[in-house]
C-alpha cells in the first residue's frame, strides 16, 4: 500500500489548529452556588465571551461586579483573573460539557482557596 502526502493550505491548517486548541466554547452565562465570607449561601454569576483563546467578561457576586482580565481558553482548560474591591482572585478550571470545575484563589490571606462548579445557564 502506497502512502500519499497531502499538502494543506495555510487557511485549512490554521482552522484545524484552532479547532483542536479551542475546543471548548464557554461564551454565555454561567452560575455557581457558593458561600459569602460569613458562610451564607450566595449565587455567583459569570458572563463569558470567548474569542478564540481569549476570554473576557464579568463576575458578579452579591456585593459587586468585576471584569475578567487575562482570561484564556486552551482546549478544555480555562483561566482568568477578576479584581474586586477586596482584592484579585485568580481562577482556573476544566470544562466538562455544561459545567466548569473551577478552583478560586487569592493572594489575600483571609481568602480561602476553594472549588466551585459553574453551570451553564439556559
Residue with cell 490571606: 109
Three-state secondary structure along 20-48? HHCCCCCCEEEEEEEECCCCCEEEEEEEE
Task: Supply the pLDDT for residue 7.
Answer: 67
| pTM to 2 decimal places | 0.76
How remote is the C-alpha of 113 from its chain's centroid?
Answer: 17
CATH class of the domain whose range is 25-120: mainly beta
30-60 pLDDT tens trace: 999 887 767 788 899 999 999 999 999 999 9
The residue written with cell numbers 494543506 in the block is 8
Q: Three cell numbers at 25?
A: 466554547
Amino acid at each position: 500500500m502506497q502512502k500519499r502526502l497531502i499538502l494543506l493550505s495555510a487557511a485549512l491548517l490554521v482552522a484545524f489548529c484552532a479547532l483542536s486548541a479551542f475546543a471548548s466554547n464557554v461564551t454565555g452565562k454561567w452560575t455557581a452556588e457558593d458561600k459569602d465570607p460569613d458562610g451564607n449561601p450566595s449565587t455567583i454569576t459569570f458572563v463569558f465571551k470567548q474569542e478564540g483563546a481569549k476570554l473576557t467578561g464579568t463576575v458578579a457576586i452579591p456585593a459587586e461586579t468585576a471584569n475578567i482580565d487575562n482570561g484564556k481558553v486552551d482546549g478544555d482548560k480555562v483561566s482568568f483573573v477578576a479584581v474586586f474591591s477586596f482584592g484579585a482572585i485568580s481562577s482556573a478550571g476544566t470544562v466538562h460539557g455544561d459545567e466548569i470545575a473551577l478552583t478560586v484563589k487569592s493572594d489575600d490571606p483571609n481568602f480561602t482557596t476553594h472549588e466551585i462548579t459553574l453551570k451553564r445557564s439556559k
